[in-house]
Amino acid sequence: MSDSDQSRAREQAVNPKPNGRGKLTAVTAVTGASLVVLMVELARSGALEQYKDLIAPLIGWGPGLLVLAGFLWLANSYAPPLIEAQAKMARNMGELAGAIRENLGRDDDVRDSLRTVAAKLDRQHEAVVGFIQEIRAATVKERTS
């Protein structure tokens, strides 16, 4: 994942796009305000006097239902981009873990190869030291003879 993709995912997680819901929210707000004004005017006129047993629970539960509706709207607006960003992050972390695991395996191979090369170099060093000792011994023999 490139840096621009990561920054775009972070930006979406922090500032989700409204996904075209701005018009719907405005229409809903105007409709709700209109209904509240209509209910207040009907209550002032006394036309709702016969329905007071029906309206009382609505007045009691109304604010709680508005808070619940607001919470559901927020969850619907912000959760999908956040969940998508979290899913992308989880996939990328999995890819990173796989790459690290693969590199660790390569490191083990390199380490084994270095041990093999070091062992061969030690054997050649011993052979060279042996040749040097033989040459010195032969040189000393020639000088003494």
Quick one: pLDDT at residue 1?
Answer: 55
DSSP 15: S
Average pLDDT over residues 23-50: 82
- The pTM (predicted TM-score) of the whole model is 0.37
Is the confidence at residue 82, as pLDDT, over 70? yes
Question: Higher model confidence: residue 127 or residue 7?
Answer: 127
Task: Classify residue 60: in a domain, yes or no.
Answer: yes
How far is 117 from 83, CA to CA, in rounded Å?
Answer: 51
Confidence of residue 88 (pLDDT cuts 50, 70, 90): very high
Question: Higher model confidence: residue 121 or residue 21?
Answer: 121
Task: Classify residue 21: in a domain, yes or no.
Answer: yes
Q: What is the mean pLDDT of the chain?
A: 81
> What residues have CB less than 8 Å from 78, skipping those under 6 apart?
16
Task: Classify residue 49: in a domain, yes or no.
Answer: yes
How far is 102 from 113, CA to CA, in rounded Å?
Answer: 17
Is the confidence at residue 16, as pLDDT, over 70? no
Task: Classify residue 73: in a domain, yes or no.
Answer: yes
Measuring CA to CA, which residue among 131, 32, 119 is closest to residue 73? 32
Task: Classify residue 37: in a domain, yes or no.
Answer: yes
Contact 50, 119 (CB under 8 A): no
Question: Higher model confidence: residue 138 or residue 12?
Answer: 138
Q: Which structural domain, as residue segments, surrounds residue 52?
A: 3-107
Is the confidence at residue 98, as pLDDT, over 80? yes
Instruction: Reduce the DSSP state of residue 40 to 3 states and report it.
Output: helix
Quick one: pLDDT at residue 68?
Answer: 92
Is the confidence at residue 79, as pLDDT, over 80? yes
Burial class (CB in 10 A: 0-12, 13-18, 19+), 52: exposed
Q: What is the number of domains present in the chain?
A: 1
Contact 23, 102 (CB under 8 A): no
Please identify which residue in the block is written with the tokens 């005017």: 41
* pLDDT tens-place string over residues 55-75: 778 778 888 888 998 898 888
Average pLDDT over residues 97-117: 82
Task: Classify residue 126: in a domain, yes or no.
Answer: no
